[in-house]
């Protein structure tokens, strides 16, 4: 009895084949099979927004062996990814194969032998509401692209385009850049004293003047000199102690994993997505064993199964001691903004917690790259930490008198590390100073402080805001960023994500002419409508009709000729890659050397000598 299992990825197909008998044929679609045509709208507006799909280039050869195997198979299983896109690919196969009575849907939340055999033993049907939601998403994006991009060509220049979600992200980046440009820094001078209470590097407290910093350097320098020369000591006048605890973080979602991978290793969101996909689909563990290392990586849920909690806690006890492991219900803090979470999947966790991050590092780099190992370590540690006890800490506040001034200090010290032991946390010594005690500072120092604007978005903070605002979904975060880079609306460097001159012009037009279409609230509302389609509470047709009506009425009220012509006169030599980090007055200009190397200089050169190679 021949059985056919179809998945997206050849790597996933190899892993699954190693679990199944000779009666199974496992084939891959290599991603999507069809899409809307690239040379026309491809949507029949007069027939309830019916999409006109075409086979993607090269997919005829991919589909042929699948259709051939399907003719001979008695049972056909669609094992594409358990999300909107996977369900859509499954629906295409369902239509093309035709043997609908023999075709069933299986969903693999993790790629392990037990999970795969369990899923194959309990097949279900395609989720047609989820398919409708994905179809609606694609049509929405196509309508915006095809109806608004031509307007941009007339108003500004050809080759520009708008996107339902990325245009909102571009708006945030441009707003932050304008905020940075208009920011006026202010200087102040702080006098502080460093007092040690132990020999370890971090065993000190910094006392600061209660009245705050000075607006001029002179008075600050005079006070510090007076205190230093007189050998002034601090006499403790007040001591307050507060106990508290910090809950462990929940297991990773797609967004939080992308954020931490960027913060820790500067992995772009797209790279994190690819590495996580590889870890999910399966790697060679040696001795002929292939296995997926993590659960499905596109999720906005922090939930994990009861059995998984048991296994994670068992491993936490082995690795870090029973005294650190949580008891009863989860102790981890709940992520903010989870009211909009779909919770269709578990959080991202290791499939087998006993396969520790240390063991993974012993695998050859050929089996698993160093970066993939780093990502697995992040996931493993976070999942284990989520099942451990909170950190307990003491927060101490001191007031002291010296030189006729009141000085204040604050310090937080760990009493019991709890989950932080996973990240090297330990119990810490605390200062035991009592009221009336005299303290001898190591130094009396003046420090210049300069106010700074809000930092530029990084991939981590931008993904965090997208998640918080309910814009985009786990499967789209990385693509949003990649699209902005590809269109040259933004660039990413050490300073963060910067809007280019092109990006700022496009954003200016979109916000001037289409403010209602490219605002946070509307885009978030559309995401909610797509979720409602997936839940079966509203039809695709109803959502698209409402949206298209709004889009057309907006376009009728606009005129590309009325958009300010001044944008076209902006010198093309000034590419607008942010404010000069040296002088703060000019803007960064991108240039190319005789050796084809790209670099930045300040637009005020030679007055400002800033230069930086890319």
Q: How many angstroms separate the CA atoms of 351 and 370, rounded?
A: 19
Q: Has residue 342 got a pLDDT over 60?
A: no
Confidence at residue 337, expressed as pLDDT on a 0 to 100 scale: 43
Confidence at residue 154, expressed as pLDDT on a 0 to 100 scale: 83
The DSSP 8-state label assigned to residue 563 in this structure reads S
pLDDT band at 365 (very low <50, low <70, confident <90, very high): confident
Q: Has residue 576 got a pLDDT over 60?
A: no
Q: Has residue 312 got a pLDDT over 70?
A: yes
pLDDT tens digits along 315-328: 999 999 999 999 87
Contact indicator for 234, 402 with CB cutoff of 8 Å: yes
Average pLDDT score, the chain: 90
Domains of the chain: 3-126 (3.40.50.140), 135-182+456-570 (1.10.460.10), 187-247+393-450 (2.70.20.10), 254-385 (1.10.290.10), 571-614 (no CATH)
Q: How many angstroms separate the CA atoms of 193 and 206, rounded?
A: 6
Q: How many angstroms separate the CA atoms of 220 and 445, rounded?
A: 9
Q: Has residue 570 got a pLDDT over 60?
A: no
Residues labelled as active-site residues: 296
The SS3 call for residue 515 is coil
Q: How many angstroms separate the CA atoms of 589 and 334, rounded?
A: 44
pLDDT tens digits along 128-137: 999 999 999 9
Q: How many angstroms separate the CA atoms of 578 and 560, rounded?
A: 28
The SS3 call for residue 443 is strand
Q: How many angstroms separate the CA atoms of 223 and 451, rounded?
A: 22
Q: How far is CA 580 from the centre of its chain?
A: 28
Confidence at residue 441, expressed as pLDDT on a 0 to 100 scale: 96
Q: Has residue 565 got a pLDDT over 60?
A: no
Strand order in the sheet with 75-78: 24-28, 3-7, 75-78, 103-105
Contact indicator for 578, 498 with CB cutoff of 8 Å: yes
Tokens of 425: 């946390």
Angle between the 166-182 and 459-469 helix axes, to the nearest 10 degrees? 120
pLDDT tens digits along 417-462: 999 999 999 999 999 999 999 999 999 999 999 999 999 999 999 9
pLDDT tens digits along 166-209: 999 999 999 999 999 899 999 999 999 999 999 999 999 999 99
Question: How far separated are the first and last CA of the chain, in Å rounded?
Answer: 59
pLDDT tens digits along 265-277: 999 999 999 999 9
pLDDT tens digits along 63-106: 999 999 999 999 999 999 999 999 999 999 999 998 878 899 99
Pairing, β 405-416 against β 75-78: unpaired
pLDDT band at 339 (very low <50, low <70, confident <90, very high): very low
* Mean pLDDT value of segment 221-232: 96
Residue 364 CB partners (closer than 8 Å, separation 6+): none
Count of helix runs (H) and strand runs (E) in the chain: 17, 22
Q: How many angstroms separate the CA atoms of 444 and 207, rounded?
A: 10
pLDDT tens digits along 32-56: 999 999 889 999 998 899 999 999 9
User: Phi/psi zone of residue 337: left (φ > 0), alpha (ψ -120 to 50 degrees), beta?
Assistant: left
The SS3 call for residue 166 is helix
Between residues 576 and 143, the one the model is more confident about: 143
pLDDT band at 330 (very low <50, low <70, confident <90, very high): low
The DSSP 8-state label assigned to residue 387 in this structure reads T
Where is 77: in which H helix or E strand? Answer: strand 75-78
Q: How many angstroms separate the CA atoms of 366 and 205, rounded?
A: 48
pLDDT band at 562 (very low <50, low <70, confident <90, very high): low
Between residues 312 and 494, the one the model is more confident about: 312
Confidence at residue 568, expressed as pLDDT on a 0 to 100 scale: 47
Q: Has residue 574 got a pLDDT over 70?
A: no
Q: Has residue 507 got a pLDDT over 80?
A: yes
The DSSP 8-state label assigned to residue 457 in this structure reads P
Q: Has residue 415 got a pLDDT over 90?
A: yes
Which residues lie across from 415 on neighbouring strands?
Answer: none
pLDDT band at 614 (very low <50, low <70, confident <90, very high): low
Sign of CA dihedral 465, 468, 472, 477: positive
Confidence at residue 586, expressed as pLDDT on a 0 to 100 scale: 78
pTM for the complete prediction?
A: 0.86
How buried is residue 186: exposed, middle or buried, by Cβ count under 10 Å (0-12/13-18/19+)? exposed
* Mean pLDDT value of segment 494-501: 90
Percent share of the chain, pLDDT over 70: 92
Confidence at residue 489, expressed as pLDDT on a 0 to 100 scale: 94
Q: How many angstroms separate the CA atoms of 316 and 122, rounded?
A: 32
pLDDT band at 558 (very low <50, low <70, confident <90, very high): confident
How many other C-beta atoms lie within 10 A of the C-beta of residue 413?
16
Which residues lie across from 398 on neighbouring strands?
Answer: 239, 409
Tokens of 47: 């027939």
Between residues 563 and 558, the one the model is more confident about: 558
How buried is residue 453: exposed, middle or buried, by Cβ count under 10 Å (0-12/13-18/19+)? middle
């Amino acid at each position: 009895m021949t059985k056919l299992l179809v998945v997206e990825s050849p790597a996933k197909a190899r892993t699954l084949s190693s679990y199944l008998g000779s009666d199974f044929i496992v084939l891959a679609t290599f991603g999507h099979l069809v899409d809307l045509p690239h040379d026309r709208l491809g949507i029949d507006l007069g027939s309830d927004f019916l999409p006109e799909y075409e086979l993607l280039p090269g997919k005829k050869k991919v589909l042929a062996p699948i259709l051939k195997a399907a003719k001979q198979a008695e049972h056909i299983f669609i094992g594409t990814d358990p999300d909107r896109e996977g369900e859509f690919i499954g629906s295409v196969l369902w239509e093309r194969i035709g043997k609908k009575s023999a075709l069933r849907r299986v969903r693999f939340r993790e790629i392990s032998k037990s999970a795969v055999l369990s899923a194959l033993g309990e097949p279900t049907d395609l989720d047609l509401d989820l398919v409708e939601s994905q179809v609606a998403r694609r049509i929405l994006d196509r309508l915006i692209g095809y109806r608004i991009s031509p307007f941009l060509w007339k108003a500004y220049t050809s080759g520009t385009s708008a996107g339902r979600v990325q245009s909102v992200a571009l708006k945030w980046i441009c707003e932050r850049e304008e905020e940075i440009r208009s920011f006026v820094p202010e200087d102040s001078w702080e006098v502080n004293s460093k007092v040690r209470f132990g020999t370890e590097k971090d065993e000190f407290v910094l006392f600061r003047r209660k009245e705050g910093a000075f607006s001029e350097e002179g008075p600050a320098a005079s006070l510090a000199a007076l205190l230093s020369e007189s050998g002034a000591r601090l006499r403790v006048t007040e001591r307050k102690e507060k106990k508290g605890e910090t809950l462990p973080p929940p297991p990773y979602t797609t967004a939080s994993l992308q954020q931490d991978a960027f913060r820790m290793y500067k992995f772009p969101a797209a790279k994190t997505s690819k590495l996580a996909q590889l870890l999910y689909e399966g790697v060679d563990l040696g001795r002929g064993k292939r296995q997926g290392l993590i659960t499905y990586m596109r999720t906005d849920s922090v939930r994990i199964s009861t059995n998984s909690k048991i296994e994670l806690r068992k491993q936490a006890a082995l690795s870090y001691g029973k005294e650190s492991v949580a008891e009863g219900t989860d102790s981890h803090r709940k992520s903010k903004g989870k009211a909009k979470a779909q919770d269709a999947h578990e959080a991202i966790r290791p499939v087998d917690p006993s396969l520790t991050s240390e063991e993974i590092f012993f695998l050859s780099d050929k089996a698993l790259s160093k970066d993939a190992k780093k990502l697995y370590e992040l996931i493993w540690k976070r999942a284990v930490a989520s099942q451990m006890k909170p950190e307990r800490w003491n927060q101490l506040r001191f007031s002291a008198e010296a030189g006729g001034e009141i000085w204040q200090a604050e310090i937080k010290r760990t009493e019991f590390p709890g989950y932080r032991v996973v990240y090297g946390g330990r119990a810490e010594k605390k200062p035991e100073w009592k009221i009336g005690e005299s303290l001898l500072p190591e130094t009396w120092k003046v420090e210049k402080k300069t106010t700074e604007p809000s930092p530029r978005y990084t991939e981590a903070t931008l993904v965090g805001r997208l998640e918080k605002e309910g814009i985009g979904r786990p499967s789209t975060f990385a693509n949003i960023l990649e699209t902005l880079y590809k269109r040259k609306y933004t660039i990413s460097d050490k300073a963060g994500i910067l809007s280019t001159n092109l990006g700022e012009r496009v954003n200016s037009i979109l916000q001037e002419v289409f403010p209602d279409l490219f605002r946070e609230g509307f885009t978030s509302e559309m995401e909610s409508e797509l979720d409602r389609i997936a839940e079966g509470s509203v039809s695709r047709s109803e959502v698209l009709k409402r949206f298209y009506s709004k889009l057309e009425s907006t376009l009728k009220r606009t005129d590309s000729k009325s958009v300010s012509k001044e944008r076209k006169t902006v010198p093309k030599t000034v590419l607008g890659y942010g404010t000069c980090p040296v002088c703060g007055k000019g803007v960064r200009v991108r240039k190319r050397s005789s050796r084809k190397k790209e670099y930045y200089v300040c637009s005020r050169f030679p007055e400002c000598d800033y230069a930086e190679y890319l």
